[in-house]
Amino acid sequence: MSSELLPDLERIRADFPFLEVEIAGQPVAYLDNGASTQKPRAVIARMAEVAAHEYANVHRGIHLLSQRASELYEAARVRAAAFFGAARPEDVVFTRGTTEALNIVAGAWGEAHVQAGDTILLTELEHHANLVPWLELARRKGARVEYVPILPNGAGLDPEAARRLLAARPRVFAFAHVSNTLGVTNPVAEWCALAREIGVTTVVDGAQSAGHLPVDVTALGCDFFACSAHKFAGPSGIGLLIGRAEALAATPPWLYGGDMVERVTYTGATYRDAPGRFEAGTPAIIEAAGLHAALDYLDTLDLPRIAAHADALAEQAAAGLRVIPGVRVFGPEGRRAGLVTFHVEDVHAHDIAFACDERGVAVRAGHHCAQPLMRKLGAPSSCRMSFYLYNTGDEVIRGLAAVQAALAFFRRA
């Protein structure tokens, strides 16, 4: 297992100033990467440089600074298109993040294309961001929502049920690439190929896969793909909606204002094509440069090796947790997408996470923004350790020791 860890880990860790932070008198062990990731110096420095010397608004004015800002903003789009395998840079829309991207699809595309009686197919493991916008759309339209069911213990989604529900031709099939709660990786390419054959629009929530494992949206064959820069060593406040050109062209604007229009009169307006059509107002310019720098940084490493590293740490954590009495580990056997979620029958997740925090170990406790899933698994609240490229086996050991200490404390008579 340890052979799968990144050999140049010390050098990688030196790139992340956050790891110098001390919590409770100890170096932080940041095991909450499923929620958000830390940023390397290259990202921080690039954003500071843009703010200091290269900043102006984009797509406005003749002056040189505006031209330069537009160039760096569009260069980030070109970079993201190449990194994620988009057919053209124009197919990449900057958003505030995955949540906004999914709201554009459900709110604008869905508003135009989903009708009363249509079925919206989701899965039982969706994050609230890929669930609530669809529930609202269904309510507005009188559409039905169906779910691909989860297998016992959250081991994965039921593949037979997925094929059967998809074959029934829902209007749209929206699902996570990787579950933020269970570490399940869904067969995106297979489902998108089936969907394409029968005219079902596909929407992939890539918040947990982008920048963690290789993603090529063209190879995956989805209509829409959404992700957030802060989940892959980039800044918060910016994300991507990547769409097939036809899918974006079939999506009406959703936010109106400057920059997204062609021609405006006192009686109406005409709108630009994608991506400008979806980027009303001043965008996150400094963050776009940060996103660009994050993708450059990840390219100096190797995504399959990053994925193997996080998987090895998650498996080390899962193995350590499974032998503790009363601990239930959710998710698939084997590869678990760099995270492990667990429930302790007699000690609440909050108390465990608090005990971890006292030892400088940051873990997530709660419902992981997947309340229906956790209720179905019988654990309304659970703990999660989630790993990224800078985490170490020692940090896993510290996390396990903190869990053991918490259980010993709360279980003493």
Partner 1 sequence: MNEELYQEVLLQHSRRPKNLSPLPGATHRAEGVNALCGDEITIELTREGDTLRAVHFQGSGCAICTASASILTCETTGLRAPEARALAEDFRRLAVSGEAAPAVADRPRLAALGTVHRYPQRVKCATLAWETLLAALDHPV
Nearer to partner 1, 102 or 365 (CB): 365
Q: Least CB distance from residue 373 to partner 1, whole Å?
A: 11
Catalytic option among 192, 222, 227, 369: 369
State the Cα–Cα distance between residues 275 and 188, nearest whole angstrom: 24
d(CA 186, CA 176) in angstroms, rounded, equals 7
Instruction: Write down the H helix ranges in 84-198.
Output: 98-104, 110-113, 132-141, 159-167, 188-197
Q: Which position among 42, 44, 250, 405 is part of the footprint of partner 1 (CB under 8 A)?
A: 405
Site for partner 1 in 378-397 (CB under 8 A): 380-381
Would residue 369 show up in a list of annotated catalytic residues for this protein? yes
114-173 residues in contact with partner 1 (CB under 8 A) are none
Instruction: Indicate the pairing of strand 224-228 with strand 172-176.
Output: unpaired
296 binds partner 1 (CB under 8 A): no
Q: Which 3 state secondary structure label does DSSP give 66? A: helix
If the CB atoms of residues 23 and 255 are measured against partner 1, the closer one turns out to be: 23
Find the shortest distance in angstroms from Cβ 32 to partner 1: 13
Q: What share of the chain is helix, strand, coil (3-state, %, to 5)?
A: 45, 20, 35
Count of residues touching partner 1 (by CB under 8 A): 18
Spatial contact of 87 and 223, defined as CB atoms under 8 Å apart: no
Min CB(39)–partner 1 separation in Å = 23
Judged by beta carbon, residue 151 or residue 405, the one nearer partner 1 is 405
Give ∠ CA 306-102-381 in degrees, rounded to 5: 70
CB of 171: closest distance to partner 1 in angstroms?
Answer: 30
Between residue 307 and residue 366, which ones bind partner 1 under the rule CB under 8 A? 348-351, 354-355, 358, 365-366
The stretch among 58-66, 193-201, 313-321, 374-382 that binds partner 1 (CB under 8 A) is 374-382
CA 216 to chain centre: 15
Q: Which of 31, 8, 12 is closest to 316 using CA atoms?
A: 31
Q: Is 409 in the site for partner 1 (CB under 8 A)?
A: yes
Task: Tell me the C-alpha to C-alpha distance, in Å, between residue 342 and each of 155, 300, 362, 367.
Answer: 13, 33, 15, 11
36 contributes a contact to partner 1 by CB under 8 A: no
Closer CB to partner 1, 255 or 405, in the complex: 405
Least Å from the CB of residue 75 to partner 1: 39
Cβ contact 200:171 at 8 Å: yes
Q: Among residues 157, 184, 321, 406, which is the contact residue for partner 1, using CB under 8 A?
A: 406
At residue 181, φ and ψ (nearest 5 deg) are -100, -40
The residue among 37 and 382 lying less far from partner 1, judged by its C-beta, is 382
- To partner 1, the closest distance from the beta carbon of 393 in angstroms equals 25
Residue 93 or 374: the one with the smaller Cβ distance to partner 1 is 374
Short-list 342, 345, 333, 336, CA closest to 400: 342
* Cα 44–Cα 47–Cα 53 angle in degrees, nearest 5: 130
Residue 213: CA count within 13 A, CB half-sphere:
20
Give the interface with partner 1 as residue ranges (CB under 8 A): 348-351, 354-355, 358, 365-367, 371, 374, 380-381, 405-406, 409-410
- Give the residue numbers annotated as catalytic, written as ranges: 369
